[in-house]
Structure 1
Amino acid sequence: MTLAENANQRNYQHLVDQLYQTSDFDFVGVALQANQAPHQITWQYVAGNRGEQFRKIILRSGIGIAGLVVRTGKPFWNNALQNATYTDVLYTPIAQAECLTSAAAIPIVTTEFRLVTGVLLAGYRSTQTVSDQTISRLSHYLATF
């Protein structure tokens, strides 16, 4: 691992920890694309997790909140995650693994080529809702990163 990669990892973990500690989110995570083929996107940095299941999840483009963000490059939020079934496009493995009822996600974009290389997701296990304001708050955190 290069010095730059090691520093980047510390920064993402700091971002996740800071967002989790200074907000009311029950779960915060960053999924990133691997540098080597097949360039899978996996959850690498999390806070508030209930277990280690998140490590086995591989994001699929267009499936679930994070997959939709990867495919479209646009933020997305949902307040009825518990209603999604396995066959539903909005079925979100991370929400199932972490018992999230609502979540918001924004793309992590490379500055050089404007490619989506990851996702920042934050969610709740309770009846709290997410909205466009949640997206703005996540965008602010990412922008200061």
Structure 2
Amino acid sequence: MVDQIQLKIDQIKEALQVDFVALALSTIDEKSTARVIRWNYVAGNTNQHYQRIRLQVGKGIGGIVWRTGRGYQATQLQQQPEQLLELPITRMEKLETVVAYPVLNAGEVKGVLLVGYRNVKEVSNEFLAAVKDKANELKVYL
């Protein structure tokens, strides 16, 4: 199943023609019993630093989307130092434009799909719809 998810992430990167794609999943930390969100599957990464990111619900892009159950988008992120501190994946991968959607199954967030560009891009409604469709396609894997 792991290979199938990674293959799907790679396919999403190609289909949407983006620089970076990541899927965040959550686990319960045994010591603190808190939910921890991590970027488990990625394509287009420039380094392995994403593996060290641990988000709480409500923190970072993954945590915000997880808490709200809604999409998230931002652009010109590298010019916003306060955003870079709050959104570590954008800093580590030098992303300028990001779009993220929850992967929902029966109304419950099971994951967060993030796509991004390393340059500033205008995000169209068609692109937002395409990313949301890709997030919906992932629910069969989770």
Q: TM-score range by the shorter chain?
A: 0.7 to 0.9
Q: Which residue of 1 aligns with 2:46?
A: 50
Question: What is the distance in 1 between the residues matched to 2:6 and 2:43?
Answer: 9
How much does 1:36 deviate?
A: 5.9
Q: Which runs of 4+ in 1 moved over 4 A?
A: none
Between the two proteins, what is the percent identity of the paired residues?
A: 33
Q: Choose the corresponding residue for 2:94, options 86, 99, 102.
A: 99
State the Cα deviation string for residues 105-138 of structure 1 (Å, max 9, x = none): 0001233xx2213210000001223344332111
CA separation of 1:25 and 1:70: change in aligned 2, threshold 3 A: same
CA separation of 1:60 and 1:133: change in aligned 2, threshold 3 A: farther
Question: What is the distance in 2 between the residues matched to 1:82 and 1:126?
Answer: 9
Is the CA contact 1:75–1:105 (under 8 Å) kept in the aligned structure 2? Answer: yes
Q: Choose the corresponding residue for 2:68, options 67, 72, 80.
A: 72
- The code of the aligned residue for 1:69 comes to V
Unpaired stretches in structure 2, ≥5 consecutive residues = none
How much does 1:141 deviate?
A: 1.7
State the Cα deviation string for residues 73-103 of structure 1 (Å, max 9, x = none): 00110112113334x5982100000000010
CA separation of 1:12 and 1:36: change in aligned 2, threshold 3 A: farther
Question: What is the distance in 2 between the residues matched to 1:82 and 1:105?
Answer: 17
Question: What is the distance in 2 between the residues matched to 1:84 and 1:119?
Answer: 23
Q: Which residue of 1 aligns with 2:134?
A: 141
CA separation of 1:19 and 1:62: change in aligned 2, threshold 3 A: same
Question: What is the distance in 2 between the residues matched to 1:130 and 1:64?
Answer: 20
Unpaired stretches in structure 1, ≥5 consecutive residues = 1-6
- The code of the aligned residue for 1:25 comes to V
Q: Determine which structure has the larger helix proportion and give its number.
A: 2
How much does 1:35 deviate?
A: 5.7
TM-score (norm 1): 0.81
How much does 1:65 deviate?
A: 2.6
- SS of residue matched to 1:28: strand
TM-score (norm 2): 0.82
